[in-house]
Structure 1
Amino acid sequence: MLLGLGLIMFLGWLSGSFIQRIGIPRLVAYLLIGIVLGPSMLDILDENLLKIAGEVRQIALMIILIKAGLTLDYRDLLKVGKPAVLMCFIPALLEILGIGIVGHYILGITYAESLLLGSVLAAVSPAVLVPRMVGLIDREKGTEKGIPQMILAGGTADDILIFVLFAAFMQVNQEGTFSASLLLSVPITIVFGMLIGGVTGGILSWISRRYKLSNEMLLILSIAMSLVMMGLEKPINNWIPYSGVLAVLTCHLFLREKCPDSATQLANVFNRIWSYAEIFLFACLGVTVNPFYILKAGWRVLMVIGLGLIFRMLGVFLSIFRAGFNRHEIIFIMGSYIPKATVQASLGGIPLMVGFASGELILVAATLAILITAPLGALFIDLYADQLLE
């Protein structure tokens, strides 16, 4: 396992440094390194490392959520108002609905399978969005109108909705029935996640002020509490819907509000940590991707992915229409909602494991969506943020 970790870090750093010089985001190199070293190609990574790849991705995702919470000012989000709320669910719902319709006709699958495919493909990637939106906030690009804050919050809430809808469509395909209680779990998930995150953030803030913690001690406590909140998701979900992702974000929003100076210093530390965590996040994502599935995709899957993105762009446009954004800002917001990665890697293989007839097709589509949209979305944000945002 140590050899594999060393190869991922060294080759990731080397290829990332090179590819960045030609204007391509580092994450593309990290993703490709994971694919090449993984079981689909060279297969030189230890089996134990492959087993914990999911946990490694979760830890890396946790770090970017902490960074987001320590950087995001909810007051800027409140200034945006209704568009910020609509961005949390309108784009994802329209993409799922669009794929649900066109997938049936283009791919020849049932509407239930098509909607399941849509729920896999619809999520935007926090792994791509969060670090880039945090970077724009740090540079004060578009912050006057709350653009990066809105995209950041919308992308996080987007994923929570997707997981719930995916569970609902899995039930429809397995049992042929639909439970409305799954949809009712969405607001419960949000409220309960924010409640646990707020309480934890309050405890963390009180300890920091009461004992005047050093940056090192606050860092340890922040990571420890975040790991607990993420780890509680499975056992708690047996009793009540809960999102560890939202809890971690809320906890550090609370810390930023109560201890702004400590939060700023902590954010700087996590910025440095992220430069290492990013390698493992995308390399471990690449390990799960089988590039040979793409040969089976064909133009029909590409068309469904493309049409799904068009429906998503329409959802974004409807969410921010007449909200005071100029043409350049609207283009940037729409383009920022392109990248897909983490959720597709997490959900893409489940229908195949369960034994659905469309399982392999869904995995092919998820793989292709990652390889196309993650680099494309990251490139768009990196190349055009300075040109399109004030």
Structure 2
Amino acid sequence: MDAQIRERFKENFKIVMKHRQANLILTSIIGFVAIYVTLVAIFQRNLFHPLAVYNVTNYDERPFDETEILDYTDPMVYQPRTFLGVDVPYEEDYILTILSLFVLWVCAVTLGKLGSYLFLPPLLGMLIVGILFGNIPTLSNMIHINRTWEDTLRQFAFICILIRAGISLDPEILRNSLYMCSMLGIGSTLVEVVIITLASYFFFGVPLAISIAFGFILASTSPAVTVPAMIRLQKEERGTDKGIPTVILASATIDNLFSITCFYIVLATTLNSLDNGQLSYTIPRILVEVLIAGIIGILSGLLIRSLPRKDASFLHFTRVAITVFMSLALYYGTQSIQCFIAGPIIVFFMCIVSAMKWKYDNTKRTKVEERAFRIMWILFFQPLLFALIGLLFDFSVITWELFGNAMAIMFLGIIFRCIAAFLISLCTSLNIQEQGFMSMCFIPKATVQAALAPSLAAYCLRRAETEPHANLVLQTCILSILITAPIGQLLILGLGRIMLFKRTVIADYNISNIGTNVSTYLQPNGNDRPKPVARNRNNATNPDKSYTTTVVI
């Protein structure tokens, strides 16, 4: 009887999803509800009474259960911030923030473009803009940014990273090179995390919990540096016969997701347990939260993968919009109920599950969605993220001792990771030159460091015993971006042109995103000859599609 009920439910669900008007209505409802939940969570409003006005001493720290009427005429209600020695009213604070962010964004985009002309990572120029505005008095007096807006923009950029990674990760690549991608993305990362943790704890006196969280942040490789370099090598057909660029990009994606997930788990299990002293309660709670988050993420992906119908108008625009709104709603919704680990896991799983169908239900696959999120990242979130992290770099606190400690921690981790990646690559059919190149591809640091380092530094400042280590954590991450991003890009391009051989078959290099630059699938008969993935209506090979090659790693 239960089996019949389940089958009937599945049939009715499929009928609703395939019905044009019902599918449109359901898509609209989910989109509007997601926007509402996002706004309520971001502005910390009551879910059922969002227009209620609250009375608190500090508006930015208003709790959820406050119900008194807000009186702006009371000087105790809003404590005005100061800008250039003048008290800034509540309304002016946000106006100055918007204008300051615009100035910062324009300067970051401009200097980032100039950096690309000098064959340097654009993010390096964006970071330098933030450092200049944060350390030159004349420039620092020109901007005024509300801390709440700054944190919100940083979280938006982090969500964009998760969405891009989830949508771009190709299941076929992982299936064909699962062992190699997992070992490079998880095994070598763990080696670097262990070295950073031990060095921070034993040599520099950083508490163990902070050292572990710091290790997962600093060890993460930057796709913002690795992806453009790999795309350039692919255009030159370097190493594509053996699928080296594709495996490295997939490994870097796994590296990011593994580091992000472990960081939040460490943050919840060790750091938060130090505050409440209930570790025996925290660990089971985290395990349950991760399990439930994975289930919710899969179910959310199964829901939106059929929304809207593949023959609907504005198909790709609607998919981009609903992915953004659902991700924001789930991320901020879980944060509002103090489930900080669940949000990133849900967003990632939702994007992977939904993209599994989107990649095969239309001729353009997910190239339009990937391009949309790539444009969001390059034109908006990347400039602001790295400019904002640059503002936190303070020359006044950088001493030779701090600089030496930061360099020691960073280079110890990099050296041992290169050794670990080289040893892992010995299990492949690559020659010694290709193994050496692969071991050097995980040096660049940037994206995760810029997104998560301020969060860990802010936690350190909350407790007296960890406050002295906040500068070491934050400044080391910023220095790692300044040093490893340009050096890593130059090493990847230089060594790639020396150590990798050119291929002899044609591959597509138009898909510029993480893990999907070259679609690599094993042919059932083991034939290495490329064949077209899709054909157009005229039965000719679609020029926008990639050719398949065999990964021999």
Match of 1:75 among 148, 163, 172: 172
1:309-324 alignment runs, 5 A limit:
309-324=414-429
Match of 1:368 among 471, 474, 479: 479
* Alignment match, 2:160: 63
| Cα pair 2:131 2:392 within 8 Å, conserved | yes
Structure with the greater alpha carbon radius of gyration? 2
| Cα pair 2:193 2:215 within 8 Å, conserved | yes
1:29 positional shift? 0.6
Mapped to 2, the partners of 1:206 and 1:272 lie a distance apart of 24
Larger deviation: 215-224 or 316-325? 316-325
> What does the per-residue CA deviation read over 1:157-213, in whole Å, with 9 as the maximum and x for residues that have no partner?
222123323444435766889659649946963x54443333333322312226614
Confirm or deny that 1:250 pairs with 2:346. Answer: no
* Alignment match, 1:225: 326
Mapped to 2, the partners of 1:181 and 1:320 lie a distance apart of 38
Match of 2:462 among 332, 353, 356: 353
> What does the per-residue CA deviation read over 1:246-270, in whole Å, with 9 as the maximum and x for residues that have no partner?
2354245334345353522222333
1:270-281 alignment runs, 5 A limit:
270-277=373-380, 278-281=382-385
Same amino acid, percent of matched pairs: 23
* Alignment match, 1:284: 388
Confirm or deny that 1:33 pairs with 2:138. Answer: no
| Residues 1:354 and 1:252: Cα distance change in structure 2 (over 3 Å) | farther
| Residues 1:171 and 1:267: Cα distance change in structure 2 (over 3 Å) | closer
| Cα pair 2:265 2:286 within 8 Å, conserved | yes
Mapped to 2, the partners of 1:120 and 1:226 lie a distance apart of 22
Q: Which has the higher contact order (CA 8 A, sep 6+)?
A: 1
Mapped to 2, the partners of 1:226 and 1:74 lie a distance apart of 21
Mapped to 1, the partners of 2:358 and 2:231 lie a distance apart of 14
* Alignment match, 2:271: 170
Mapped to 2, the partners of 1:380 and 1:188 lie a distance apart of 41
* Alignment match, 1:100: 197
SS in 2 for 1:206: coil
* Alignment match, 1:47: 145
| Cα pair 1:197 1:250 within 8 Å, conserved | no
| Cα pair 2:214 2:456 within 8 Å, conserved | no
Mapped to 1, the partners of 2:238 and 2:143 lie a distance apart of 40
* Alignment match, 1:9: 105
* Alignment match, 2:220: 123
SS in 2 for 1:23: coil
| Cα pair 2:112 2:126 within 8 Å, conserved | yes
1:26 positional shift? 0.7
Mapped to 1, the partners of 2:166 and 2:109 lie a distance apart of 27
Aligned length: 388
Confirm or deny that 1:294 pairs with 2:390. Answer: no
Unpaired runs of 5+ in structure 1? none
Larger deviation: 306-315 or 74-83? 306-315
| Cα pair 2:216 2:259 within 8 Å, conserved | no
1:316 positional shift? 2.9
| Cα pair 1:94 1:311 within 8 Å, conserved | yes
Mapped to 1, the partners of 2:189 and 2:288 lie a distance apart of 16
* Alignment match, 1:209: 309
| Residues 1:165 and 1:7: Cα distance change in structure 2 (over 3 Å) | same
Mapped to 2, the partners of 1:187 and 1:159 lie a distance apart of 18
1:40 positional shift? 7.6
1:353 positional shift? 2.8
Q: Considering only aligned residues, what root-mean-square deviation do their CA atoms show, in Å?
A: 3.7
Instruction: Give the letter for the 1:35 counterpart.
Output: I
TM-score when normalising by structure 2: 0.60
Query: Which structure dedicates a bigger proportion of its chain to helix?
Result: 1
* Alignment match, 1:152: 253
Instruction: Give the letter for the 1:362 counterpart.
Output: V
* Alignment match, 1:304: 409
Instruction: Give the letter for the 1:230 counterpart.
Output: Y
1:61 positional shift? 3.2
> What does the per-residue CA deviation read over 1:132-169, in whole Å, with 9 as the maximum and x for residues that have no partner?
66887899876635412222223222221233234444
1:78-89 alignment runs, 5 A limit:
78-89=175-186
| Residues 1:69 and 1:259: Cα distance change in structure 2 (over 3 Å) | farther
1:245 positional shift? 4.8
1:30 positional shift? 0.6
SS in 2 for 1:276: helix
Instruction: Give the letter for the 2:150 counterpart.
Output: A
| Cα pair 1:133 1:149 within 8 Å, conserved | no
SS in 1 for 2:465: coil
Mapped to 1, the partners of 2:114 and 2:473 lie a distance apart of 33
Larger deviation: 301-310 or 66-75? 66-75
Unpaired runs of 5+ in structure 2? 1-96, 503-553
Mapped to 1, the partners of 2:109 and 2:463 lie a distance apart of 37
